[in-house]
Amino acid sequence: MEGIGEQLRAAREHHHITLRGASRRLKIREAYLKALEDEDFAVLPQGAYVLGFLRNYALLLHLNYRELRDQYRKQFGGKIAEETEIAPEASTRKRIGFILTPARVIAFTIIVGSALFLWYLFSQYQSLTRPPILELSSPLEGEVFNARSIRITGRTDHNATLRINGEEVHLSTEGIFEREFVALKNGPESLEIVSENRISGKQTIIHRNFNVALPSSDAILPNGGNTTGTTAPVDTGITISIRTLDSVWFRVSVDDGANEDFLMEDGQTRTFHAKSKIYVRSGKAYAAYVSVNSKPEELMGTTSVVERTWTLSDL
C-alpha cells in the first residue's frame, strides 16, 4: 500500500493542484502540506492538529479520510481521540489576527461618533452651568490715576449678566464691556465686578483697588466745592454750565418752557440761562458735571439716569 504522503501527492497532481493553490484553499501553511506529503510529521504542530490537517487535505483531494487516519495510526502509532481534533482553519484564523470588515468599520464609526456627540453634550452642559469667565483689563490693581474719568474695560461670557458696583453693564456680542468710572475724591477707590451665569446663577467676582490723585483744581471737596471758584451773582437768574466726559443725552427745560433734547459728546460744554427755574434730565449722569451760577462744578449724579431742578429761591 502506498504511504500517506504518496497518496496525497498523487491525488493533488491528479487534480492539477499546486501546493500553493491547496494552501490558499485550505488556509493551511504550504510548509505543513508539504510535510504531510513528505510524511515529516515532526514539522507539524503536535497532537490533534496532524489529524485536522490530514482530514481537510483529504477532503480537498477527494480521498478517504478514515482510511488515511487509520493508516496514520498504524504506521506512526498515533492514539489521538477523534473528538479532540481541531479544524485547521480555526487555528490558522487565530494566527491571522484582526480582520477589517465593512461591518467592523461601521460599528467603529458609530462608537466614535457617539462618543464625540456625548462629549459635545457634556461640554455644552458645562458651558451653560459653570461660572462665567471674567477678565478685567483696566484698571490694574494699585494703579494711580490723575484724572476724574477712569475707563473700566474687560471681557466675560457674552450670555452672562455683568454688574460693576451693583449697576448692570451692557455687553457686546463678544462679551466685551467698557464703562466710565468718575472719581469723586482723591484717595483709594475700589470696584466689585460680578459676572453671573444666567442659567445656573453661578458667579465670578473680581475686586480691584486703585488710587486717584487729582490735581488740586479738579478735586471735589466734601462740601460740594473744589479748590477754586467764584461766588454766584445774586438775583440775576440762574445760569447752568454742563460739561461731559462721555456721550451723554440730556433733556432741558428753561422756566417751564418746552423740553429740548440733545446729545453731548466727550469734552463738550453747554450753558443755559433762566429767570427762575431750570429742569435737567440726564442719562449717564455719572459722566456729566454741572456748574450753577459759576459755582464749582459738581457731578450731575452717581447713577445712570438723574433728574434735577434748580430754582432761584433754592439758590
Residue 186 has what pLDDT? 81
Q: Where does residue 200 fall: left (phi above 0), alpha (psi -120 to 50 degrees), or beta otherwise? A: alpha
Q: Which residue has the higher pLDDT, 66 or 48?
A: 66
The residue behind cell 473700566 is: 152
Share of the chain above pLDDT 90, in %: 48
Residue 75 has what pLDDT? 80
Task: Work out the pLDDT band at 215, boundaries 50, 70, 90.
Answer: low
What's the average model confidence in pLDDT over 165-180? 91
What's the average model confidence in pLDDT over 261-273? 90
Domain ranges of the chain: 4-96, 134-212, 238-311
Task: Work out the pLDDT band at 225, boundaries 50, 70, 90.
Answer: very low
Please give the grid coordinates belonging to residue 19.
501546493
Indicate if the pLDDT at residue 156 is higher than 50.
Answer: yes
CATH architecture of 134-212: Sandwich (2.60)
Please give the grid coordinates belonging to residue 171.
455687553
Q: What is the CATH number of domain 4-96?
A: 1.10.260.40
Residue 216 has what pLDDT? 58
Q: Name the average pLDDT for the chain.
A: 83
Determine the Cα–Cα distance for residues 80 and 69; give it in Å rounded to an integer. Answer: 10
Residue 43 has what pLDDT? 83
Residue 80 has what pLDDT? 46
Please give the grid coordinates belonging to residue 99.
480582520
C-alpha dihedral, 217 to 218 to 220 to 224, nearest 10°: 70
Q: Comparing 59-73, 91-105, 109-123, which segment has the lowest mean pLDDT?
A: 91-105
Residue 203 has what pLDDT? 93
Indicate if the pLDDT at residue 241 is higher than 70.
Answer: yes
The dihedral through the CA atoms of 148, 154, 159, 161 has a sign that is: negative
Q: Which residue has the higher pLDDT, 163 or 230?
A: 163
Identify which of 52, 59, 61 has the alpha carbon closest to the alpha carbon of residue 17: 61
C-alpha dihedral, 229 to 265 to 179 to 154, nearest 10°: -130
Task: Work out the pLDDT band at 86, boundaries 50, 70, 90.
Answer: very low
Task: Work out the pLDDT band at 30, boundaries 50, 70, 90.
Answer: very high
Task: Work out the pLDDT band at 256, boundaries 50, 70, 90.
Answer: very high
Q: What is the pTM of this model?
A: 0.38
Identify which of 52, 50, 28, 29 has the alpha carbon closest to the alpha carbon of residue 40: 50
Share of the chain above pLDDT 70, in %: 84
User: Measured at the alpha carbon of residue 274, what is the angle toward residues 271 and 279, in degrees to the nearest 5?
Assistant: 80
Q: What is the DSSP string of the chain?
A: ---HHHHHHHHHHHTT--HHHHHHHHT--HHHHHHHHHT-TTSSPSTTHHHHHHHHHHHHTT--HHHHHHHHHHHH-----GGG---HHHHHHHHH-----HHHHHHHHHHHHHHHHHHHHHHHHHHHHSPPPEEEEESPTT-EESSSEEEEEEEE-TTEEEEETTEEE---TTSEEEEEEE--SSEEEEEEEEEEETTT--EEEEEEEEEE---TTTPBPTTS-BS---PPPSSS-EEEEEEESS-EEEEEEETT---EEEEE-TT-EEEEEESSEEEEEESSGGGEEEEETTPPPEES-SSSSEEEEEETTT-
Residue 181 has what pLDDT? 82
What's the average model confidence in pLDDT over 243-247? 90
Residue 9 has what pLDDT? 92
